[in-house]
Chains A and B, each alone.
Chain A
Amino acid sequence: MTTIFAALGPFGDAIDFIFQQRESQAGTVQVGGLGEIWELTWMHLKLSLAATAIATAVALPIGVWLGHIGRYQFLAISTSNIGRAVPALGLVVFFIAFLGVGFGNVCLALVLLAIPPIITNAYVGIRGVDRETVDAAKGNGLTGMQIAGRVELPLALPTIMAGIRIALVSVIATATIAPLANVDTLGRPIVSPNVYGTAGQLAACIVVALVTFAADAAMAALQRAVTPRGIKIQASQSRSRGRRFVSPKRSIQST
């Protein structure tokens, strides 16, 4: 086992850090090991999920409402343009510098980071619902509230979930700098290599990457699960129709 780790170089050392405790760089405390890694991971997840949940609670109604009334497109789209131009690092550090350290402040910064993609995707998803479907619902006597809740929202769910997925992934990535606000996430070994050593730094990176991929996969599964059956059938039909349409054209080109 040790020889394999040695062959992997710095990566072997990092994997060893994840599973076994060792002395810190100064030799004063014990760092690493599954216990501490799990503690940091749990804090990382708590922070990211809290921020994404709050952002969803705030942004989803706004996005759905804007999409439902079909106005203020400029507002809905430019939120995400502005959100992209503001660097994540600057945003988080700005909050720490002006509001001070602590879980709440860094969480608020991450909420602001997560809101733009959720609003934009909710808006685009709701606007993307077939107008004829909405007209049919109107003709059946559904009120505006009912149309938004029972027709538009279910049909837009895949796009909405994609927005939440983007938000969650970027929040998990940015929560890495939360230790600047004294919140001990997986970023702690990354920003203080003087305590954890380069092995701890690399180990935390590997764990953050794994956590992100796991969260992304979970959201992808959730996205598939909430997709209404009608949309799935429609998608597979249009795909086969597309193929039929393409094939004669191809044969013309090849001759």
Chain B
Amino acid sequence: MSDLTYIPVLAQLNDDFFGNREGAADRCPGNNGLCPGWIADNFSDYLHPFWEHVLLSIVPLAIGFVIATSLALFAHRYRVAQPFFLAFVGALFTIPSIAFYLILLNITGRGFGTAVVVLTAYTQVLIYRNVMTGLQEVPAETVDVANGMGLSQRQILFRVELPMALPTIFAGLRIAASSTVGIAGFAFFAGAGGLGGEIFSDPAFKGNVVTASLLMILLATALELIVLLVQRLCTPWERAVAT
């Protein structure tokens, strides 16, 4: 108990999901340093977990965006639903991630699907809250003007309110992107692999921890930048004001 001895046993339990660190000692005496040589030799071992991590981040983001936006549009139309939706998505976000993975594992089984359900649940509050805020911050005068011009309610939503809310919506998506990458680090508890499994397979080996962590930070930053790029493309009118 006083040592990290349980790690090999855990690795046996999850053979498919944990990398094999044997041979590391040859390249790096003591298997304890940063070992740039070992990282260079074994970098290809991280590509598969990295790819798993990419899928674990993008799929929940896409599904979560669709669900959260639908919830927000519904709540925007029927204001009675607002406090209930906010309480619900807030409660989802409060569940500790490891517990969520393991509890759901006992209901839906191991694998990618379980992890996607959990990660989608965590994106909800971040996206929903920002869509809601964006729609509410549209000036009432602007909506009145659209009303006066004879636009229908649907036209007001799609041509006035949603475009004006886009910057706030994208900000929520950016927050959701980086936090999903972070929470997907625990997805190996649900048997879905990812870079977290690599970190956990040998937490005492600095080279391993640093490589996997840096890849996760890289992925989070890249996703944020991609969302930012899409935002620039979707809201050309913002650039004229912002700069």
A residues near B (Cβ < 8 Å) are 9-11, 81, 84-91, 93-94, 96-98, 169, 172-173, 176-177, 180, 182, 187, 190-195, 201-202, 204-206, 208-209, 212-213, 216, 245, 249, 252-253
Contact = CB atoms under 8 A, between A and B. Distances in A.
B4 to A, nearest CB: 7
Nearest to A96: B203
23 contacts: A9-B106, A81-B224, A85-B178, A85-B181, A87-B185, A90-B185, A90-B199, A90-B216, A90-B217, A91-B213, A94-B213, A173-B96, A173-B99, A176-B96, A176-B98, A176-B99, A194-B9, A195-B1, A195-B6, A202-B106, A206-B99, A209-B100, A249-B144
Interface of B: 1-2, 4, 6, 9-10, 13, 91, 94-100, 102-103, 106, 140, 143-144, 147, 153, 175, 178-179, 181-182, 185-186, 189, 196, 199-200, 203-206, 209-210, 212-213, 216-217, 220-221, 224
Given A84-B175, A94-B213, A205-B103, A212 B94 contact: yes
A11 B217 CA distance: 36
Contacts, number: 126
Contacts of A169: 94
Given A193-B13, A194-B13, A253-B153, A87 B106 contact: no
Contacts of B216: 87, 90
Contacts of A195: 1, 6
B102 A201 contact: yes
B95 A212 contact: yes
Contact of A85 (B95, B103, B205, B224): B224
A175 to B, nearest CB: 9
Contact of B213 (A87, A187, A208): A87
B127 to A, nearest CB: 14
A88 B184 CA distance: 10
Contacts of A245: 140
Contacts of B196: 87, 89
A149 B65 CA distance: 41
A90 B103 contact: no
Contact of A172 (B96, B204, B221): B96
Contacts of B175: 84
A89 B181 CA distance: 11
Nearest to B104: A205
B10 A202 contact: no
A180 B203 contact: yes
Contacts of A190: 98, 102, 189
Contacts of B212: 90
A98 B147 CA distance: 62
Nearest to B90: A216
A83 B106 CA distance: 32
A164 to B, nearest CB: 14
B90 to A, nearest CB: 9
A192 B3 CA distance: 12
